[in-house]
């Protein structure tokens, strides 16, 4: 099978060279290994192949057989979309772009030897390594959830997949008059507006199917972290008497047996308890010897996304310590991937990375089945601070929730999925 | 407004020349920041409701972007995003998309 993939890669390379290989700049070659096939890793894989005209070999290591999108997954939890709507395969990355996609897990990185160790055995050597592992959870901060049994009962559904389906089933099984409680950790965490969107969509489901039920948000933060005015307006207009928001309400522990969230001075027993745990860079990045900030997030060079202390290792997406006002989002991971791909191709060719990179973010949230809101920002590299800084006067949020942006949000999903996998 | 667009384009030629000297793939990389919503190389997924950018005349694209920036063209989000790029960058982006056939 590996041989067949390599043959396919060869054929794809010829086609790619014809399409893209004639662009300006020095020809790059080498082998890039990418860990994680989500919004960051899959985008990096495609763009490295596309922009090098097939000159750079790319191996993508991903645990799961298919890509399942976190964005739009709250609509599955609300019952408006299905898993099929958010699940995509890696066939085009393999067949059209010649990426060698391996279903496996990377257990360790040897940055001195420039190789990674695979769970199924063997090693892969690389010229450049890209880690795009997303987040992992700090279970030790929630002792009562620090077991497989407890985690199977009290769900996070903060990585789209089986937990998305399981949370939907818990909501469907909940009797009318029940309570759904959702906890939010202190920022930064993956997808700042995501919990508020989820609360809206569960409230919308209750409104139409279980009208005596309640949604309670337990937010560890002082106030709504993202799109505050738009979310609070939606709660007042659409979910009065259904949705209750509690700020400064950090969940310190969980009693999984009784579905109880334990706060500093209070407890809340719910029919469906949904805990979004505190997070840090995904295990493989957190344990690879890379410099971390706050022991959680990888510090990177914004010209290349390369670790500041480990040459040859680039890190994308939620795992990094973000630049000012930059959210941990799938959209942003895709932008990191393109910045990294351009820099890696320059570096492999012996050239300096682009000294003036730009990244931007757009994030849509549904407040009910038909209305959405957005937040957007553009970030330009600033040589003085060596950070990509938000451009003043650019970006912003929707004027008001509206149906047009709900359609655009779904159009965004189709295009970004095509951009990374198509 | 026409004059300001023309002035912008003139101003840009010099600037983008300098930028080209720095990174030969700058236009490509800047245009890639648009692909999340408009797909790779601006070839928007058919019936996704997103505007295709590939092969659109450069002057027409710059005109539109200028109208987003000065608020004369109504938008849900492009008035906010277009202000995040310099005119020189928008010129490179529009040129890149115009050349995608």
Coil, strand or helix at A346 = helix
Chain B CB contacts of A96 under 8 Å are: none
Question: CB B36 to CB A415 under 8 A?
Answer: yes
pLDDT at A389: 98
Domain definitions of chain A by residue range: 2-136+280-354, 141-277
Residue A28: pLDDT band (50, 70, 90) is: confident
ipTM of the complex: 0.93
Lowest mean pLDDT among A21-25, A72-76, A283-287: A21-25
| pTM for this prediction | 0.93
Cα separation, A263 vs A181, whole angstroms: 13
Mean residue pLDDT across chain A: 95
Residue A10: pLDDT band (50, 70, 90) is: low
Q: B19: distance to nearest CA of chain A, Å?
A: 9
Of B25, B30, B37, which is closest to A415 when you measure between CB atoms?
B37
What percent of chain A lies above the pLDDT cut of 70? 94
Q: What is the CATH number of domain B2-98?
A: 1.10.760.10
Instruction: Give pLDDT tens digits for B1-14.
Output: 344 444 444 444 44
Q: How far is CA A294 from the centre of its chain?
A: 20
Of A50, A355, A358, which is closest to B33 when you measure between CB atoms?
A358
Tell whether omega for the bond before A188 is within 30 degrees of 0, i.e. cis.
yes
Give residues with Cβ within 8 angstroms of A385, minimum separation 6. none
Query: If you count residue pairs, one on A and one on B, with CB atoms under 8 Å apart, how many are there?
Result: 122
Q: State both tokens at A195.
A: 């919990």
The sign one gets for the Cα dihedral A284, A287, A291, A293 is positive
Chain B CB contacts of A355 under 8 Å are: 22-23
Instruction: Establish whether domains A2-136+280-354 and A141-277 are of one fold.
Output: yes
Quick one: chain A helix, strand, coil %, rounded to 5?
35, 25, 40
Instruction: Give pLDDT tens digits for A357-388.
Output: 999 999 999 999 999 999 999 999 999 999 99
The CATH architecture of the domain made up of A141-277 is 3-Layer(bba) Sandwich (3.50)
Chain A CB contacts of B25 under 8 Å are: 23-25, 51, 342, 354
Instruction: Give pLDDT tens digits for A326-346.
Output: 999 999 999 999 999 999 999
Site from B19, B37, B38, B42 to mutate, A interface, most A CB atoms within 10 angstroms: B37
pLDDT at B8: 45
Q: CATH classification of A2-136+280-354 is 3.30.70.20, yes or no? A: no
Cβ atoms of A246 and A218 closer than 8 Å: yes
Question: CB A416 to CB B37 under 8 A?
Answer: yes
Question: CB B28 to CB A416 under 8 A?
Answer: no
Cβ atoms of A99 and A93 closer than 8 Å: yes
In terms of C-beta distances under 8 Å and separation of at least 24 residues, what long-range contacts does A346-351 make, across chains too?
A346/A25, A346/A28, A346/B23, A347/A128, A347/A304, A348/A28, A348/A29, A348/A30, A348/A56, A348/A127, A348/A128, A349/A25, A349/A26, A349/A27, A349/A28, A350/A26, A351/A25, A351/A26
pLDDT at A294: 96
pLDDT at A15: 62
Instruction: Give pLDDT tens digits for A88-136.
Output: 999 999 999 999 999 999 999 999 999 999 999 999 999 999 999 999 9
Rounded to an integer, the average pLDDT of A254-273 is 97
Q: Which residues in chain B show pLDDT less than 70?
A: 1-21
Q: A315: distance to nearest CA of chain B, Å?
A: 18
Confirm or reject contact between B70 and chain A (CB < 8 A): no
Helix (H) or strand (E) holding A263: none
């Amino acid at each position: 099978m590996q041989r067949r993939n390599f043959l396919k890669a060869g054929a794809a390379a010829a086609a790619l060279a014809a399409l893209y290989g004639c662009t300006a700049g020095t020809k790059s070659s080498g082998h890039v290994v990418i860990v994680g096939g989500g919004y960051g890793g899959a985008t990096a894989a495609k763009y490295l192949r596309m922009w090098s005209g097939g000159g750079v070999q790319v191996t993508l290591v991903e645990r799961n057989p298919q890509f399942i999108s976190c964005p739009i997954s709250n609509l599955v939890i609300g019952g408006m979309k299905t898993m099929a709507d958010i699940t995509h395969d890696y066939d085009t990355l393999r067949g059209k772009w010649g990426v060698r996609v391996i279903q496996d897990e990377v257990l360790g990185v040897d940055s001195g030897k420039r190789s990674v160790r695979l769970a199924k055995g063997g090693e892969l050597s690389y010229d450049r390594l890209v880690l795009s592992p997303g987040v992992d959870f700090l279970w030790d901060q929630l002792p009562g959830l620090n077991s497989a049994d407890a985690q199977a009962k009290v769900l996070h559904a903060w990585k789209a997949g089986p937990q998305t389906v399981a949370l939907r089933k818990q909501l469907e099984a909940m009797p009318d008059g029940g309570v759904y409680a959702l906890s939010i950790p202190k920022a930064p965490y993956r997808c700042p507006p995501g919990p508020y969107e989820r609360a809206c969509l569960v409230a919308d489901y209750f409104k139409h199917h279980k009208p005596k039920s309640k949604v309670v948000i337990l937010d560890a933060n002082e106030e709504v972290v993202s799109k505050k005015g738009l979310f609070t307006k939606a709660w007042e207009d659409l979910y009065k008497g259904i949705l209750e928001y509690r700020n400064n309400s950090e969940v310190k522990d969980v009693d999984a047996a009784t579905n109880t969230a334990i706060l500093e001075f209070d407890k809340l027993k719910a029919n469906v308890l949904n805990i979004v745990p505190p997070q840090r860079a995904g295990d493989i990045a957190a344990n690879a010897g890379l410099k971390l900030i706050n022991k959680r997030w990888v510090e990177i060079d914004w010209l290349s996304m390369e670790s500041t202390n480990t040459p040859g290792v680039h890190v994308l997406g939620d795992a990094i310590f973000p630049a000012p006002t930059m959210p941990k989002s799938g959209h942003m991971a895709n932008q990191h991937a393109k910045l990294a791909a351009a820099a890696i191709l320059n570096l492999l060719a012996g050239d300096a990375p682009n000294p003036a990179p730009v990244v931007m973010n757009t994030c849509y949230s549904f407040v009910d089945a038909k209305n959405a809101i957005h937040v957007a920002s553009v970030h330009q590299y600033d040589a003085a601070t060596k950070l990509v800084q938000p451009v003043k006067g650019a970006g912003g949020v929707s004027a008001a929730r509206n149906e047009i942006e709900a359609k655009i949000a779904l159009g965004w999903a189709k295009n970004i999925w095509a951009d990374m996998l198509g | 407004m026409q004059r300001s667009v023309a002035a912008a384009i003139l101003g840009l030629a010099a600037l983008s020349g300098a930028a080209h000297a720095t990174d030969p793939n700058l236009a490509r990389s800047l245009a890639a920041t648009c692909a999340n919503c408009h797909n790779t190389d601006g070839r928007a997924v058919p019936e996704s409701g997103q505007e295709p950018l590939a092969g659109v005349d450069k002057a027409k694209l710059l005109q539109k972007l200028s109208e987003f920036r000065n608020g004369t063209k109504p938008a849900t989000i492009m008035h906010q995003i277009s202000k995040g790029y310099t005119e020189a960058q928008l010129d490179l982006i529009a040129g890149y998309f115009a050349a995608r056939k």
